[in-house]
Structure 1
Amino acid sequence: MVRVREVGTLWIGGSLSWMEQLCLKSFVDQGQQITLFSYEPIPNVPEGVIRRDGREVLDTDNFLKYEKKDSFALFADLFRLHMIARNPGMIWVDTDVYCLRPMDYDADHVLGFELPGGARVNNAVLGLPADGPLLRAMLDYTSDVYGIPPFVKGRLQEEYRAAAAAGQPVHVSQQPWGVWGPMMVTHFTHALGLADQVQPLDAFYPVTFPDRLKFLRPAAVAEGMITPHTTALHLWASNKRELGLRHHGIPPAGSYLDKLLRLHDIQAEAAPIKGRGKHVFDAGLVDRLDIAEAQTFADLGGNAQSLALAAWNKWDCDIQLIDIDHKGNWPATPSPWVVPYTAFLTAHGVPEAKIARISRAGDLRPVDVIANLSGFGDVNKVKHLEAVLKASLHAQTRMLTDIRKGSGAYPLLNAYGSCETVTTRDADGVTITRALFRAGPQAVAQEAPTPPEEGSWAEIATTLAGQEGFFRDSPEHSVLFIKRSDTLVVTFDNLDIAMGKREDRRPWGFSFIEKQGWSMLGVMANGWTWYRDPWVWQQFDALRDSGFFKQFKRVVFYGASMGGYAACAFVAACPGADVVAISPQSTLDKALVPWETRYHTAWGRDYSGPYGDAAQASHAAGRVFLLYDPYEPLDTGHADRFTGANVVKLRAPLLGHRLGSSLQQMGILAPITLAALNGTLTEAEFYRTLRARKTFPRYQRELFKRALDRGRPGLARKLGRWVLTRGDNRFIRQGMLVL
């Protein structure tokens, strides 16, 4: 009687590509039960595949990788051993193993040689006795992530032993590819004398690794290598690199892989190969676009066929082929790339009515996604890109673009939005950055940028922004973004003070933030505006809607007085961010704070809208650290309006409204601010640090005055003696003369 065997496999890494879909479905179509283990939902698993939680086998969040190749194959090597141990009789298959006929082996050992000569054993197909010596030996060996493999070259073993002796053992993730895979399986199979249990080459690997590209050739080539003994066929996932780089992530027409897809009714274009290890193929770029939907996709220059196809499959969008030559001219007849590009799309299901050639500037319209790969700013001069951008951008447009260092692309693009690096590569010693460009509000009806005036804030800020940042301004306000790390500090300051009273002419806190290596978004006001300007609101709306804040692991809004108000108000654009506000106002809306008698110049501004009442807007924050002097009645009135459960009120008595200045003079502003910005500040730590006020002249003076004002001359004398025996305080010294 034929032994019925179940097979199992594992997937980590989001959606399946057509290769995994094909292999899984091949077992289903052959009537062999297959189980797919995973640690997260997978949206596109073929019908008939059994789904199970990977934690039934290994309950862990430590998914080991071969770090040099950024591959979870290391974890899969470990997982298969535990799967077999916990599921006796189950045969492991990699997700790139295709089922030609049911695997009904009677033997407990199901594994095969992968190269001629009968030496090297692969583990892409692996069945073992759950209580056998081979599985026990490998489970024991893999229990030590710093184990020194006895099967690597002697010189390498010596290096590992020396590193271990020095207290720096080499982790398995840093060891050679396959150290817990074919290398280990081969070693223990031969060491235990089990080579006679291994299936011959043609059982699973008739097309060997050196011959793997034959799967991409006409079907007859691979078919001629398969024998009647072949049950499962390793398709070699390493073919993904060739497929992604040279075939748009889809098998060549007429190839063996193409034939298998047709046999099992798998649509490759619906699940193209998007990447391999650290390499993101063009089709995978669609997942980097942080938009929910797109109605129009435009390819500028014809180098993004696979991305266009992926966009159509994801959004059913129209595809525009912008037919412009390398000098920015519009050819009278279609360029040579247009016809094959169109043929590729239609061959893979895109209706011809969805494809349009744009052949003159007057036909350009705003689009949702632009691809400018190996185009303007890389192999072509970037100056020809601007005319297209002016006509094709709207405030939410995304563009994937290649930027050659020194091309001048960043200043141009930063005038219309912001850029985020996706990948980098070297070409003939020059760095090429593949960037995601996000258009901003200024993208609409944008005029060509004019050079900033020498010595102006615009010139300073443009220089500070650099290639990956941006600077935007309006008559009353400006926004400067400097990219450094995945922590972002959003600051609010007065430009008059920065330019007129600071020697370095930098936003408040600039040097401190720079020293920490944090990114900075600095919002500057040209006067006492309280940032009540629709332009500012639009900037934060656009940053929120474009997903700008999502690129950072931690975001903190920071400001004092007017800036403190803004920090509490505009955090609504980045829910969950923390706020550090020193002596902030909650609003200057006289209907809400009729008792506020300061800041007459800003009373007439509009405090409506989602960013108007900071006390309400700050409910969106993670935590709000509110520093203020409880003896300043107006500041206390504003502080009392902040009633959210996320508010941490830190009181600094008798240090005044200019609390930030007082803390700075005491030398404790920096440690308090650092702790607040990095999320480690506690109330206990704040008050311990605040003890430094005992030697601060202003605090001593205010305490002395309060004793006198309350009719406590004895207490004032006692305080005066304490202060003057430890130093001098002119106010107290003069006051003591009349006591």
Structure 2
Amino acid sequence: MARTREVGTLWIGGPLSWMEQLCLKSFVDKGQKITLFSYEDIPNVPAGVIRRDGRDILDTEDFIKYEKKDSFALFADYFRIHMIHQNPGLIWVDTDVYCHRPMDYDSDYVMGFELAGGRRVNNAVLGLPYDSAILRDMMTFMEDRYAVPPFIKDSQQVEYRAAAAAGTPVHVSQQPWGVWGPMMVTHFVHKHRLLDRVQPLEAFYPITFPDRLRFLRRSKVVDALLSPLTTALHLWASNKRELGLAHNGVPPTGTYLADLLDHHQIAAHAAPLTGRGKSVFDAGLVAAVPLEKVARFADVGGHAQSVALAGWGRWGCAIDLVDIDKRGEWRSEPSRWVAAYRTFLTDNGVPFDQINLVAKAADVVPAQLVVNLSGFGDTIRLSRGAALFDALSAPGGCVITDMRKGWGGYPFWRPRGSTDLLSTRDDDGTEVNRVLVTLTGDAAAKSTPTPKTAAPAASPAASPATPGLNGENWADIATELAGKDGFYRDSGDHAMLFIKRSDTLVVTFDNLDLAMEKREDKRPWGFAFIEKQGWSMLGVTAAGWTWFRDPWVYDQFDDLKKKGFFKRFKRVVFYGASMGGYGACAFAAACPGADVVAISPQSTLDKTLVPFETRYKTAWDRDFTGKYGDAAKVSSSAGRVTLLFDPYEPLDAGHVARFTAKNVVKLRAPLLGHRLGSSLQQMGILSPIVLAALNGTLTEAEFYQKLRARKQFGRYQKELFKRALDKGHPDLARRMGRWVLTHGGNRHIRKAMEKM
């Protein structure tokens, strides 16, 4: 008689999506008992699933993650081993494992090969004897979170041992994916000679990870790959990325996953896919809305299908499709997206009469939730849609919108309510913010934002006294920041602000126009970072693109040097990017021995020295001679000069090549562009890199290790993809494109792949 088995799993991370609901309910519907462990209340668990507190297994608040992917899979790997140890006979299943038919294995060894070849064992389905030697070995291995795994690449083992010997061992959260999962299980299965206990590929993984997108094809494609040996079928949660980024979070009608949802009566719209790892899908935006009730939802431009479906699933609201062109004018005929939008909604259960086309001013009805993605304020100047938004936005409601700095979004929405940043993306080197606007309850609060103050006609660049968008004056701001222990000096075209804090001084160089008009805090570049470290700061600002080529600036540095200003500090570092990078390298000559950190710097704009330079024409006629002129030469008197640059940006690389002194350290960041600082910031690694560089502790090995984060960065992916095509390697580009689209998505690559 077959042995009746029970299975268990764990969920951390709020409500379940339809994929977890489907998998859990499949066990219930097939008559196999399943226990869901959790550490918090989960509001949408299917009926029939047994609930248990995760603290029954591990009483902890230490939910360890794979930091690079922001994933609790690492804790799940740890939890499953302890669950098996404490519950004899219980089989672990991941929450993306579907019950094709009940598991009735007699042996306590329940595991399967995940790839052809009979070597790699996955742990999505795992059963082991609770008192087995292999289980004890794995528990012992996981107790040391800084252990050097004997099963990773030899080169990584050497790197990890060197780090441990240097006193900086590599924590498991920073180690490769699967180090407590399939990699560990495979290692110990081989060590304990248990290969004969492993189920064949067909049991749990007839569709392997490389072929996982087959679940998004017709059912007959999947059914043909299953066999009588198939029991618990791994659906691969990585498919969430493809679903969230390409299919509005819902499996297309007629696909295997869609048929499973129908069979088990799971409504996808009621439990949308909100994200996967660091990828946040549009449907997840609904969770950010603080409103209990939404009677009407409006999508301006037709880019929020998944948000509309999730909103209807949450509130049962009417959905308005606002069809307006890029000039802010109503269209005479419906746009092509309207029909496809309606079809998507009705195919997923939204009643036809709940969907309304807004095609003229008379159709506009105020909505409690307005969504404006990739539209006004991002790809279109918001001023063109201002009247529409005032008519469309209900007092006390919310707006979710994309904002590109300088395109009118913030000045328009701030007088109308509070703004909360939801996410940030890079679009060809430009930062775009996704923002939740919570409107005031009073419609009269709407007002026309104060326009920017125009610069005097006689001067193309604003002076340091020019007010910002809200009337703030830089001289007043700087004087207040300097306080009684600092100083502020200005000449009209340039200014110096000194703030005293500690015996470390950072000298920065910036364009005041950017500080006053592009930054919300109206502070010089790097200000907040330097303040956080408690360092003193000397901020040198220019009212325009001057490259600091002004006798007044030279005289100020000469005066500071003469009076021994720099000698008051134990450590002095000159820091800047682009024009500021030039300033940092050039004026470090005023403090011999000071370190320099420069991002994408120029060496000079003297055309006799850099005839290749075709940018920055406004400064070509300035004098780049003298002791602060050629940064590549005068920086030779500095201490360490650290230059960060993209070697594939030919003009930047040409400037960096001119720095030939022995004190120069060149750190290459390929395919991240001239706006390297912005790219590193968006990757989340600028702060640790700059901190180490300013402290003088940054090594090349540390820099390149952190730079590995670029693999998940959109701009790098786009440039690498383009480079593969430009070099005549379309197959390589396709392979890379497929990897990107299943590990987070990239709009540029997706569109390019569609044309290939």
**Normalised-by-shorter TM-score class:** 0.5 to 0.7
Paired position in structure 2 for 1:335: 335
Q: CA deviation at 1:409?
A: 2.0
Q: Which moved more, 1:68-77 or 1:379-388?
A: 379-388
Give the aligned partner of residue 348 of structure 1: 348
* Structure 1 contact 213–239 (Cα < 8 Å) conserved: yes
Worse-superposed segment, 429-438 or 226-235: 429-438
Is contact 1:7–1:91 with CA below 8 Å preserved after alignment? yes
The 3 A distance-change label for structure 1 pair 110 and 234 is same
Give the corresponding residue for 1:375. 375
SS in 1 for 2:131: coil
Please give the per-residue CA displacement for 1:40-63, whole angstroms capped at 9, x wherever unaligned: 011111111100000000000000
Distance apart, 1:450 and its partner CA:
4.0
Match of 1:462 among 466, 470, 473: 470
TM, length-normalised to structure 1: 0.62
Q: Is the 8 A contact 1:91 1:127 kept in 2?
A: yes
Q: Secondary structure at the match of 1:37?
A: strand
* C-alpha distance 463-431 of structure 1, shift in aligned 2 (>3 A): farther
TM-score with structure 2 setting the length: 0.60
Q: Distance in 2 between matches of 1:246 and 1:237?
A: 15
1:299 alignment partner, SS class: strand
CA contact (8 A) 2:77 2:181 kept: yes
Name the SS of the counterpart of 1:106 in structure 2: coil
Structure 1 position 451, deviation (Å): 3.1
Deviation readout 1:529-573 (Å, 9 max, x if unpaired): xxxxxxxxxxxxxxxxxxxxxxxxxxxxxxxxxxxxxxxxxxxxx
- Residue 16 to residue 464, structure 1, CA distance change in 2 (3 Å): farther
Inter-partner Cα distance in structure 1 for 2:90 and 2:466: 67
Give 1:486-635 correspondences, 5 Å limit: none
Q: 1:367 deviation in Å?
A: 1.6
Matches of 1:16 and 1:310, distance apart in 2: 14
Following TM superposition, by how much is the alpha carbon of 1:225 offset from its aligned partner in structure 2, in angstroms?
0.7
Quick check: 1:424–1:433 contact (8 Å CA) kept in 2? yes
Q: Unpaired segments of 5 or more residues in structure 1?
A: 467-509, 519-739
8 Å CA contact 2:453–2:469 kept in 1: the answer is no
**Cα offset for 1:268?**
1.2
Report what 2:223 is aligned to.
223
Amino acid aligned to 2:316: D
1:185 is aligned to: 185
- Residue in 1 aligned with 2:420? 420
Deviates more, 1:392-401 or 1:227-236: 392-401
Structure 2 residue 273 is the aligned partner of structure 1 residue 273: yes
Contact residue 390 and residue 444 of structure 1 kept, 8 A: no
1:21 aligns with 2:21: yes
CA shift at 1:171, angstroms? 0.9
The one-character-per-residue Cα deviations of 1:588-610 (angstroms, maximum 9, x if unpaired) are xxxxxxxxxxxxxxxxxxxxxxx
Q: Is the 8 A contact 1:65 1:71 kept in 2?
A: yes
What secondary structure, in the 3-state scheme, does the structure 2 residue paired with 1:35 have? strand
Residue 448 of structure 1 deviates from its aligned partner by 2.6
For residues 76-95 of structure 1, the aligned pairs below 5 Å read 76-95=76-95
Partners of 2:137 and 2:252 in 1: how far apart?
43
The answer to whether residue 286 in structure 2 is matched with residue 255 in structure 1 is: no
Contact 1:65 1:74 in 2 (8 A): yes
The aligned counterpart of 1:150 is: 150
- Mapped to 2, the partners of 1:263 and 1:198 lie a distance apart of 31
Deviations 1:320-373 (A, max 9, x none): 111101121101221111111112112222122222111112332322111101
Tell me the distance in 2 between the aligned counterparts of 1:449 and 1:231: 62
* AA in 1 matched with 2:438: R
CA contact (8 A) 2:415 2:447 kept: no
Q: Deviations over 1:266-299 (max 9, x none)?
A: 1111112111112111110000112222111100
- Between the aligned partners of 2:272 and 2:472, the Cα distance in structure 1 is 41
In the alignment, the residues of structure 1 paired with residue 9 and residue 57 of structure 2 have an alpha-carbon distance, to the nearest angstrom, of 11
Q: Distance in 2 between matches of 1:31 and 1:140?
A: 35
Contact 1:452–1:458 (8 Å) recurs in 2 = no
The residue aligned with 1:293 is: 293
Amino acid across the alignment from 1:444: A
| Partner secondary structure for residue 337 of structure 1 | helix
Partner residue, 1:531:
none
Distance 2:209 2:79 in 1: 23
Q: Secondary structure at the match of 2:314?
A: helix
Q: Is the 8 A contact 1:299 1:320 kept in 2?
A: yes
CA contact (8 A) 2:368 2:396 kept: yes
Q: Which amino acid aligns with 2:251?
A: P
Offset of residue 186 of structure 1: 0.4
* One-letter amino acid of the counterpart of residue 34, structure 2: I
Q: Distance in 1 between matches of 2:107 and 2:471?
A: 71
Instruction: State the shift of 1:404 in Å.
Output: 2.2
* Residue 407 (1) aligns with residue 407 (2): yes
Contact 2:393–2:399 (CA<8 Å) still a contact in 1?
no
Find the aligned partners of 2:399 and 2:363 in 1 and give their Cα distance. 19
Distance 2:138 2:264 in 1: 36
Runs of 4+ in structure 1 displaced over 4 angstroms?
A: 452-455, 457-461, 463-466, 510-518
Report whether the alignment pairs 1:45 with 2:53: no
How far apart, in 2, do the equivalents of 1:245 and 1:453 lie?
Answer: 41
Match for residue 173 of structure 1? Answer: 173
Structure-1 separation of matches of 2:390 and 2:102: 59
* 2:657 corresponding residue in structure 1: none
Q: Deviations over 1:473-504 (max 9, x none)?
A: xxxxxxxxxxxxxxxxxxxxxxxxxxxxxxxx
1:640 counterpart residue number: none
Partner in structure 2 of residue 111 of structure 1: 111
Count of aligned pairs:
475
C-alpha distance in 1 between matches for 2:185 and 2:32? 25
| 1:412 CA displacement | 2.0
- Partners of 1:389 and 1:440 in 2: CA distance: 14
Equivalent-residue separation in structure 1 for 2:167 and 2:201 (angstroms)? 42
Asked if structure 1 preserves the Cα contact closer than 8 Å seen for 2:8 and 2:93, the reply is yes
Aligned to 2:436: 436
Q: Which residue of 1 aligns with 2:56?
A: 56
Structure with bigger RCO (C-alpha 8 Å, 6+ apart) = 2
CA distance in 2, matches of 1:237, 1:366: 38
Q: 1:33 to 1:360 in 2, by over 3 A?
A: same
Q: Secondary structure at the match of 1:420?
A: strand
Judge conservation of contact 1:395–1:444 (CA < 8 Å) in 2.
no
Alignment of 1:118-157 (within 5 A): 118-157=118-157
**Matched residues in 2 for 1:186 and 1:77: separation?**
13
Task: Indicate the SS of the match to 1:123.
Answer: strand
1:325 corresponding residue in structure 2: 325
Cα distance in 1 for residues equivalent to 2:531 and 2:396:
32
SS of the aligned residue for 1:31 comes to: coil
For residues 453 and 345 of structure 1, what CA distance do their matches in structure 2 show?
Answer: 46
Matched to 1:311, the amino acid is G
3-state SS, counterpart of residue 394 of structure 1: strand
Contact 1:111 1:121 in 2 (8 A): yes
SS of equivalent residue, structure 2 residue 336 = coil
**CA-to-aligned-CA distance 1:633-655 (integer Å, 9 cap, x gap):** xxxxxxxxxxxxxxxxxxxxxxx
Paired residues of 1:303 and 1:374 also in contact (CA < 8 A) = yes
Structure 2 CA distance, aligned partners of 1:403 and 1:91?
48
Provide the rounded CA distance (Å) in 2 between the counterparts of 1:438 and 1:385: 18
Measured in 2, the distance between the counterparts of 1:180 and 1:159 equals 19
The 1-side partners of 2:235 and 2:528 are apart by 51
Following superposition, the deviation at residue 416 of structure 1 comes to 2.3
Unaligned segments of structure 2, at least 5 residues = 455-462, 475-522, 534-756
Please list, as runs of the form range in 1=range in 2, the aligned pairs for 1:691-730 lying within 5 A after superposition: none
Identity of aligned residues (%): 59
Distance 1:412 1:461 in 2: 12
* d(CA) in 1 for partners of 2:344, 2:221: 24
1:166 positional shift: 1.6
Give the C-alpha shift of residue 453 in structure 1.
7.2
Return the offset for 1:413: 2.1
Indicate how the Cα distance of structure 1 residues 464 and 31 shifts in structure 2: closer, same or farther if over 3 A, else same.
Answer: farther
Q: How does 1:662-701 map to 2 (within 5 A)?
A: none
One-letter amino acid of the counterpart of residue 95, structure 2: T
Q: State the one-letter code of the partner of 1:93.
A: V
CA distance in 1, matches of 2:4, 2:98: 18
The match for 2:742 is none
